[in-house]
Amino acid sequence: MTRLRFRLSTLLLLTACIAAGLATQNRRSAWYVSKSIPSGFQVQNAPRLAAFEEQDLLVCLKTSNPNRLVVRRLSTGEVLHDFKGDRPRVNFLQAGQDGKLYGFSVYRVTRIDLTTGESTLLMKGSDGPPESLLVKAVSPDGRSALIAVQDVVELPNGRGIIQPSTPVTYRVCDLASGELRWELPITGKYVRDGAFSSDGKRIGLQIDNRFEVWDYESNVQIYDTPLIFSGLDKPALFPDGKRVFSGDAVYDLRTGLMLSRVETGGFRSAIVNDAFLIEQSDGQLHYWLRRRVEGSWSPLNFPEAWITGALAIACVLNIVGYSRLQRSRDRHCY
């Protein structure tokens, strides 16, 4: 009877170890909502977002009239500042590594004070001869801006229009001096959104049906991947520059494969900030966290791993205890 109980207990422990280990393996690359806080906006007014993890700040921008900028605690959702009223129009936000907030639209880049809401104009684009200059992204270090350029034809009334069938040229310009740092002429005639990596050294561009990543300081193309994003979704590069998020999915730029799909509710206001993916949906701000960050994953980060370890120890102790019991009985028999 003792031997039967030992075999059953050992079998149960081994089964539990295998199940917990498989759970850990299956969840290594899963996304999950770590927490949610109220957004303070109606669902139809999905805000643009920028997160400052070190400062525990989350900035929400409602782009529809009236313009509204709300600064919250990233950890709790507590409202710190609520700025309403007229200010230079911006459509996107970029959290700067210098702790400053950068806002940009197609014709301007501004730096926004998080305590007063006041804006400082850093760069102004144009849509007049000889070129149309449209701002598409700002680097996280606050030093550079990505600009899409096309030729413009001047009309008799003084206005300008983009010349038909004009290829697009992408430029990276210094925000302080306006100096040209990089230029990429392409054959495509449609302007798409771009994205800087978190270190500001790489830039991602959707060109036709491909997504290209460039080290613009060295003028070296890193990836050229067949990917097509929705025109409503602004792509965002992960810090490693090897993955991109757009719409509701994360893609591997090395293979072009979809790594995982995130049920975000279909809104455009998603950002990637380090390991966090933040998405506005159903009036809540959901914090999507990836359980495995490539290059720094450890099994000890998962509760299943601790359970697996505890069960394995229990299994070993069970076997050791049974062995000792058998040796004790053998001695008594002699």
Tell me the pLDDT tens digit for each residue of 302-334.
Answer: 555 556 666 677 767 777 666 766 666 655 555
Separation CA 194–CA 137 (nearest Å): 6
> What one-letter code names the amino acid at 17?
C
Mean pLDDT over the full length of the chain? 77
Q: Do 120 and 177 form a contact (C-beta atoms < 8 A)?
A: no
Cα–Cα distances in Å, from 321 out to 8, 137, 324, 326? 15, 65, 5, 9
Residue 266: predicted pLDDT: 53
* pLDDT at residue 285 greater than cutoff 90: no
* pLDDT at residue 158 greater than cutoff 60: yes
Residue 182: predicted pLDDT: 94
Residue 293: predicted pLDDT: 46
Least confident of 224-228, 275-279, 299-303, 330-334: 299-303
Cα–Cα distances in Å, from 225 out to 50, 134, 210, 229, 304? 27, 24, 5, 12, 35
More confident of the two residues 4 and 110 = 110
Residue 27: predicted pLDDT: 44
Residue 231: predicted pLDDT: 53
- Whether pTM > 0.75 for this model: the answer is no
* pLDDT at residue 111 greater than cutoff 90: yes
Tell me the pLDDT tens digit for each residue of 43-74.
Answer: 556 678 888 888 889 888 887 767 788 899 98
More confident of the two residues 304 and 237 = 237
Separation CA 61–CA 13 (nearest Å): 52
* pLDDT at residue 284 greater than cutoff 60: yes
